[in-house]
Chain A
Amino acid sequence: MIDSTSLTAIADTATQVAAIAGMNLSTLDIIGYIVIAVGVLFDLLGAIGLVRLPDVYNRLQSATKSVTLGTLGIMIGILIVEGFTSIGIKAIICGVFLLLTAPVSAHALSRGSLRFGAKMWKGTVIDSYGKDKLGGPQIETKEKKDEVA
């Protein structure tokens, strides 16, 4: 298991490595950069999901969740590196606004594409919204022809 002493040891080692490379980083800086790296990793996962998942709605899931947490991670990392300076506080405000606005945009996009008529993936189990509001489930029925091209 990872505990706080081993984390501190890792951070100390990282500080020494950075010092050899000619960079002057404190333990807090290292932790901040690790948080930023994790955030970037989640952003990357979100991007991969955007390519791999089957339809608009699943892609929105991936884009919204991973990218929100990833970008929030970057903002928190900036706060840790910068401390409570004007930059750090602005970063945290950005994070709060991201949390408030990202789900709203995902909601608007998904509702808009349903109403526009973007069909859901053929493996979709149920579409209560289409059944109640749009006069029938909006699930695509046959295989796409141009998938090879």
Chain B
Amino acid sequence: MRRIILCVLTYGFWLILTLPGGDRLVWIRHVTDWPIYIVGAVVAILAAVFFGGEFTHQPLSFLNPRRWLWAIVYIPVFMWHMLVANLDVAFRVLHPRCPVNPGIVKIHTDLKTDVAKAFLANSITLTPGTMTVDVDGDTLYIHWIDVVKDGTDIEANTKAIAAKFEKYLRRIFE
């Protein structure tokens, strides 16, 4: 089951990647382009056979519309935080004295699944002054460019760094 879904996704991706060029989008190819379909199918099947075991353990959750809805809600939220993050870094870089106060702090996450943790770590890396260094169970080590106080308070760190993403990611991935 997992392998079939992975195969379909891979093949769809191949079709998008090999769309015919030109001024406008053409979804149907000329008949003589059949090798592209064949190569894509072979590669998709091989990928599914070899890497199906690494794929998500609940493939049916791909079909859950509520998760997709929350993912769509999450994108603008994430984009906004990312823009703020960049303006923040830009300010620090252009400031004559480079006002950084860096350190590695610990935070604690309630997310359970690996995918959700991976996305949390990625989101943290791309947003204000924080970068995930390591994940160990439910503890994340974060390099923070502007540590608040002395950075030993795990609860306060979690609130400042991860809380704004966790509520969305929990709805998308769990």
Specify which chain A residues have a CB less than 8 angstroms from the CB of B93 in the assembled complex: 45, 48-49, 52-53, 62, 66
* Beta-carbon contacts under 8 Å, B98-146 to A: 98, 100-106, 121-123, 125-127, 129, 131-134, 141, 143, 145
Interface size bracket, B side: 35 or more
- Please, how many residues of chain A have a CB less than 8 angstroms from a CB on the other chain? 48
Tell me if B47 counts as interface (CB < 8 A to partner A). Answer: no
Interface SS of A by simple majority: helix
Tell me if B161 counts as interface (CB < 8 A to partner A). Answer: no
**Could you tell me if A68 and B131 are in contact, using CB atoms closer than 8 angstroms?**
no
**Could you tell me if B151 and A128 are in contact, using CB atoms closer than 8 angstroms?**
yes
Minimum CB–CB distance for A69 against chain B, Å: 5
Tell me if A4 counts as interface (CB < 8 A to partner B). Answer: no
Residue in contact with A103 in the complex, picked from B25, B94, B126, CB distance below 8 Å: B126
**Could you tell me if B145 and A58 are in contact, using CB atoms closer than 8 angstroms?**
yes
Residue in contact with B143 in the complex, picked from A45, A57, A85, A103, CB distance below 8 Å: A57
Determine the distance from Cα of A136 to Cα of B127 in the docked complex, in whole angstroms.
28
Specify which chain A residues have a CB less than 8 angstroms from the CB of B123 in the assembled complex: 103
Tell me if A64 counts as interface (CB < 8 A to partner B). Answer: yes
Residue in contact with B85 in the complex, picked from A49, A65, A125, CB distance below 8 Å: A65
Q: Which of A46, A48, A104, A125 has the most B CB atoms < 10 Å from its CB?
A: A125
* Beta-carbon contacts under 8 Å, B31-47 to A: none
**Could you tell me if B126 and A68 are in contact, using CB atoms closer than 8 angstroms?**
yes
Tell me if B4 counts as interface (CB < 8 A to partner A). Answer: no
Specify which chain B residues have a CB less than 8 angstroms from the CB of A33 in the assembled complex: none
Specify which chain A residues have a CB less than 8 angstroms from the CB of B100 in the assembled complex: 53-54, 58, 121, 123
List the 3 shortest-distance A-B pairs measured between CB atoms, nearest first: A103-B125, A125-B103, A126-B103
Contact sample, A vs B, 22 pairs, CB 8 Å cutoff: A53-B93, A55-B102, A57-B102, A61-B129, A61-B131, A65-B126, A68-B82, A85-B21, A85-B25, A99-B126, A102-B126, A103-B126, A107-B131, A111-B134, A120-B104, A125-B101, A125-B150, A126-B105, A128-B103, A128-B106, A129-B133, A130-B104
